[in-house]
Amino acid sequence: MKIMVVGGGGREHAIIKKLKENKDIDVIYALPGNGGIARDAVCVNIGAKDITAIVDFAVKEKIDYAVVAPDDPLVLGAVDALNEKGIPCFGPDAKAAEIEGSKIFSKNLMKKYGIPTAEYETFDNENDALKYLETCKIPIVIKADGLALGKGVIIAMTRDEALDAVKSMMSDKVFGQSGSRVVIEEFLTGPEVSVLAFTDGKTVKPMVSSMDHKRAHDNDEGLNTGGMGTVAPNPYYTKEVAELCMKTIFLPTVNAMVKEGRPFKGCLYFGLMITPDGPKVIEYNCRFGDPETQVVLPLLKSDLLTIMKATTDGTLDETEVVFEDKHACCVIMASNGYPQSYEKGFEINIPDEIASNVYVAGAADKDGKLVTSGGRVLGATAVADTLPEAINEAYKLVSRISFDNAFYRKDIGARALKALEE
Ligand code: AMP
Ligand code: GLY
């Protein structure tokens, strides 16, 4: 079987490594992949947003099944375009991907179907937004409507910050068209939980929960990043919380999408906050999270390709989705300066015997050597029976990997450990 995975980060590396456990797969192409993924798949120099080239490649190579991993191609309609040519895909079509592509769409969906989320107002006129901010409660959260590389959310701790945020999005257009409409919403408090769930549009099978660490530096200081590390499972996601989420959030969301004529197939990511009033949705993503995938998939016991195909065929109810009763920790090693500017081109040393635990994100091949090419360079994941062991093992892996200008958080999993002790 010929498989194609669209994307080229740590998440895609984790998906590819898991897929490779299926012996029916003869070849996996990664579009575009990266220097590290090249050791596990055939990388093809086609960008993840180049839908025409992706479809042409898939047709030419007679791809049997395609996995579209990043948000951009999903929102741009990569799945629709591939399906038109008869190529089955993992991932939502463009209409369903709007659950991530437009925050206004997702907020209105939740309001219409009574799915718990922060109270909000939406604005397409800057003056109205600024007027609203004069009297609203502070802190307040400002969100650009469209995709903004994970940077379109500003938590304003003062009224001035809130006013500046709206101006920068709506008149200075720092996020381009994504910020021409904004959501202004209530500031919620409580621990955050990421839950990725497989769904075929009817059945929802949540994966093991996880905890991301979004800030660049220890103790949750510094700028927001794509994620500096993860642990799974998330201790705040108890059995009771999980049952409540299934009843009040997961099933209602999937059913709402069907009622709206946008059945969602693929991986639906629920970004949740466990507030004093119960779990609420902070955001939906229409895809696997990064670096959540790097701790979730290593714990998956069932065959990934079988599950993916079941989401496409609508047979998820009869498909086994089982996770190991273990813990995983992923520590991201980044280039010093990330998420702002950083230098690239430094050689990366990963001992062969730990390569299977490493998911490469921002690295290129240069004359047969792996060199840094991105902000988040790689993630090292360890699986163990307990959380302390998983954390310990992950940091041991990190200590064996080296490149110039590397930086990483030293406290991945610390908050989860504290929660376990409480
Ligand atoms: P996002 O880019 O949508 O993942 O949001 C970034 C982060 O902003 C989230 O992980 C939360 O920590 C925070 N956030 C988003 N919405 C809210 C909210 N309504 N109240 C408090 N924090 C929020
Ligand atoms: N780790 C957060 C995300 O993938 O959006």
Domain positions in the chain = 2-91, 119-186, 192-318, 327-421
Number of the ligand 2 atom closest to the C-alpha atom of 291: 1
User: How far does CA 344 lie from the centroid of its chain?
Assistant: 24
pTM of the model: 0.96
Which ligand 2 atom is the nearest neighbour of the CA of 285? 5
Atom of ligand 1 nearest to the CA of 151: 2
Ligand 1 probe mutation, 136, 141, 282, most atoms within 8 A of CB:
282
Distance CA 384, CA 346 (A): 31
CATH fit for domain 119-186, picks 3.40.50.620, 1.20.58.110, 3.30.1490.20, 3.30.110.60: 3.30.1490.20
With the most atoms of ligand 1 within 8 angstroms of its CB, the residue from 103, 145, 151, 155 to mutate is 155
Taking the centre of ligand 2 as the mean of its atom positions, its distance from the CA of residue 226, in whole angstroms, is 6
Q: Which fold has domain 192-318?
A: D-amino Acid Aminotransferase; Chain A, domain 1 (3.30.470)
Same CATH topology for 2-91 and 327-421: the answer is no
Query: Which residues sit with their C-beta closer than 6 Å to ligand 2?
Result: 150, 212, 227, 285, 289-290, 292
Q: Are 362 and 375 in contact (CB under 8 A)?
A: yes
Q: Is 72 in the pocket of ligand 1 (CB under 6 A)?
A: no
Q: How far apart are CA 14 and CA 75, in angstroms?
A: 22
Q: How far is the CA of 367 from the centre of ligand 2 (A)?
A: 32
Residue with tokens 């791809």: 63
Say if residue 301 is exposed, middle or buried (CB neighbours under 10 Å; 0-12, 13-18, 19+).
exposed
Does the C-beta of 37 come closer than 6 Å to ligand 1?
no
How far, in Å, from the CA of 367 to the mean position of ligand 1?
41
> Would residue 397 be called left, alpha or beta, if left means φ above 0 and alpha means ψ between -120 and 50 degrees?
alpha
CA of 271 to the centre of ligand 2 (A): 9
State the pairing for strand pair 153-156/140-144.
Answer: antiparallel
Atom of ligand 2 nearest to the CA of 230: 1
- Is the minimum distance from the CB of 42 to ligand 1 under 6 angstroms? no
Q: How far is CA 8 from CA 4, 37, 67, 278, in A?
A: 12, 8, 12, 36
d(CA 36, CA 98): 31
Give the nearest ligand 2 atom to 214 CA: 1
Instruction: Point out the ligand nearest to the CA of residue 140.
Output: 1
At residue 330, the pLDDT reads 99
**Per-residue confidence (pLDDT) for residue 178, from 0 to 100:** 81
118 CB less than 6 Å from ligand 1?
yes
CB 287 within 8 A of CB 100: yes
Q: Is CATH 3.40.720.10 the classification given to domain 2-91?
A: no
Is there an atom of ligand 1 within 6 Å of 153 CB? yes
Dump pLDDT digits (tens) for 62-78.
999 999 999 999 999 99
Low-confidence ranges of the chain (pLDDT < 50): none
What CA–CA distance (Å, rounded) separates 135 from 143? 18
153: left (phi over 0), alpha (psi -120 to 50) or beta: beta
Is the Cβ atom of 132 under 6 angstroms away from ligand 1? no
- Give pLDDT tens digits for 269-316: 999 999 999 999 999 999 999 999 999 999 999 999 999 999 999 999
Domain 327-421 listed as CATH 3.90.600.10: yes
Give yes or no for residue 151 CB within 6 A of ligand 1.
Answer: no
Q: Whose CA is nearest to atom 5 of ligand 2?
A: 289
